[in-house]
Amino acid sequence: MQDKAIALQDVDLSLGRGAARVHILKGVSLGIDRGEAVGLVGPSGSGKSTLLMTMAGLERPDSGRVIVDGTDLSGLDEDALARFRGRRIGIVFQSFHLVPTMTALENVALPLELAGEDDAFDRAEAEMQAVGLGHRLHHYPAQLSGGEQQRVAIARAIVPNPAILVADEPTGNLDENTGQSIVDLLFALKRDRGATLVLVTHDLALARLCDRTVRLRSGRIEAEAVTA
């Protein structure tokens, strides 16, 4: 399991309090190889986003282990975990999570600035060009369309060159052409930089591009299929 990009062993996770408490992930075990692309599919509410956040170290399991790039995340305190994520994992959220008071360019530069990189704004601008938003550098998130915000979120996730990229419905809000350019970007990251991709998607065409699909149902892995 140490040689995997991501390994989950018998992960259980509940979220919420009191009557709203939900047992979301139930005994999930999964290994993802370095450089592999995995499509995470399943019905709404089956736990895809929660599983993705668990892999990215943003949710801690109640039991079971999450090992990313050979590191058992349960052994890291919050600060160490945040540093680990910043260096190794790019995350694209279902609802973007852009900082509303920062311009698009500032949002993309943020992870590099936090890492103390000198050329943060140059690299951020290059990444904004790569996602087709070179003409929207100084817009604030509220001044961008949903698809444009999605692309800013992707630029921010990939700008530090993460070894692992997890993305929650990266093409969900995009038209076909823009969606295709995002798919090309994500798979270029895999091909050119050897990144591991984990993508939640309802898009069967995108799922088929992955090396493997994993289907969740009611918080359990229902099926796995090799697609490539």
Ligand X SMILES: Nc1ncnc2c1ncn2[C@@H]1O[C@H](COP(=O)(O)OP(=O)(O)OP(=O)(O)O)[C@@H](O)[C@H]1O
* Pattern 143-172, ligand X, x by CB under 6 A: ------------------------------
Of Mg ion, ligand X, none, which one sits near residue 20, judging by CB under 5 to 8 A according to partner kind? ligand X
Residues numbered 7 to 46 that lie near ligand X (CB under 6 A) are 15-16, 20, 22, 24, 42, 44-46
Residues numbered 84 to 123 that lie near ligand X (CB under 6 A) are 94
User: Least distance (Å) from Mg ion to the CB of residue 167?
Assistant: 11
Looking at the Cβ atoms of 56 and 112, the one nearer to ligand X is 56
Of ligand X, Mg ion, none, which one sits near residue 50, judging by CB under 5 to 8 A according to partner kind? ligand X
Q: In what order do the strands lie in the sheet with 22-32?
A: 22-32, 6-15, 63-68, 71-72
Looking at the Cβ atoms of 49 and 54, the one nearer to Mg ion is 49
For Mg ion, the binding residues (CB under 5 A) are 49
Residue nearest ligand X (C-beta atom): 16
Q: Report if residue 61 touches ligand X, rule: CB under 6 A.
A: no
- Out of 8, 13, 37, 49, name the contact with ligand X by CB under 6 A: 49
Looking at the Cβ atoms of 49 and 103, the one nearer to ligand X is 49
Interface size with ligand X, residues (CB under 6 A):
14
Neighbours of 219 (CB within 10 A): 23
Query: What is the binding site for ligand X (CB under 6 A)?
Result: 15-16, 20, 22, 24, 42, 44-50, 94
